[in-house]
Chains A and B, each alone.
Chain A
Amino acid sequence: MLQLRDESAAEDAVQETLMAAIQGASGFAGQSSVRTWLIGILKHKVIDHLRRISREKPLTVATRPVEETDISDFDALFVADGHWAEAPCAWSNPDQSLQQSRFFEALERCLKGLPDATARAFMMREVMGIETDEICKELRISASNCWVMLYRARMSLRLCLEQTWFQGERE
């Protein structure tokens, strides 16, 4: 276990360095081939990472991307005239939450509730900052479905965090 932890810490360090490079640290800015190469590495890391967090979750029909791009199930979150059925609240002291490991546990539980391809697309976008067209290519989904998956992820996560953390028992 110790070795695993060290390995993971080492990976994190590498990842951070690479991400800094990708996010436009000056030396790398013009070198698109280096950038492409780094993104290739990171994509695999993200996918491994996602496999680890979802390993206990049984596969369901919703793991097929085609099932995850249907937007009609979000209709329940809005009333007929397009207003929120339940209006999003102001989250108190969100920055403080980022200092708490319990917040990240809540976030992980919410992430685990996402369908696989949706979680994958969201992580690529938000953790790695990969552009949507590259995410679509990687996941083999159409560009028009890509934004639906990201929308789905954001709508689900914000609702989950609001219910389980910001209005829940955050202690």
Chain B
Amino acid sequence: MRFNLNCKETSRLLSQGQDARLGLTERIALRLHLRVCDACTHFSAQLQFLRQAMQSWPGPEENPPE
């Protein structure tokens, strides 16, 4: 595997990293890419936020009127 990932490859690896521990090479490659890429850094934060949002989701039945 190469160290220079493009954004497309990075987005896939970041998603996979949400489900399994990535290999050392992949983790290093990700870190190198994220250091220079704002877009993927935002994407990475958004994946973590999505997880947080799904865990805070009250479920479809509960939409209390405010």
A interface residue numbers (CB < 8 A to B): 4-5, 8-9, 12, 49, 52-53, 78, 81-84, 87-91, 94, 97-98, 101, 103-105, 107-108, 122-123, 125-127, 131-132, 147, 150-151, 154-155, 157-158, 161-162
CB atoms of B59 and A8 under 8 A apart: yes
CB pair B54–A126 under 8 Å, yes or no, is yes
B interface vs A, CB < 8 Å? 6-9, 11-12, 15-16, 18-20, 38-40, 42-43, 45-47, 49-64, 66
- Nearest-neighbour CB distance to chain B for A51, whole angstroms, equals 11
Contact A157:B15 (CB < 8 A) given known A101-B63, A101-B64: no
State in angstroms the CA–CA spacing of A148 and B5 once bound together.
Answer: 18
Instruction: Please indicate the chain B residues that have their CB under 8 angstroms from the CB of A5 in the complex.
Output: 61
Q: Is the CB of A150 within 8 A of B7?
A: no
Q: Apart from A91-B46, A151-B15, what are 15 other A-B pairs with CB-CB below 8 Å?
A: A4-B61, A49-B60, A52-B61, A78-B7, A87-B39, A94-B49, A104-B58, A107-B54, A107-B57, A122-B54, A126-B51, A132-B20, A147-B16, A157-B50, A162-B46
- Of the candidates A82, A87, A105, A123, the one whose C-beta lies within 8 Å of that of B54 is A123
Report how far A59 CA is from B49 CA in the complex, Å: 29
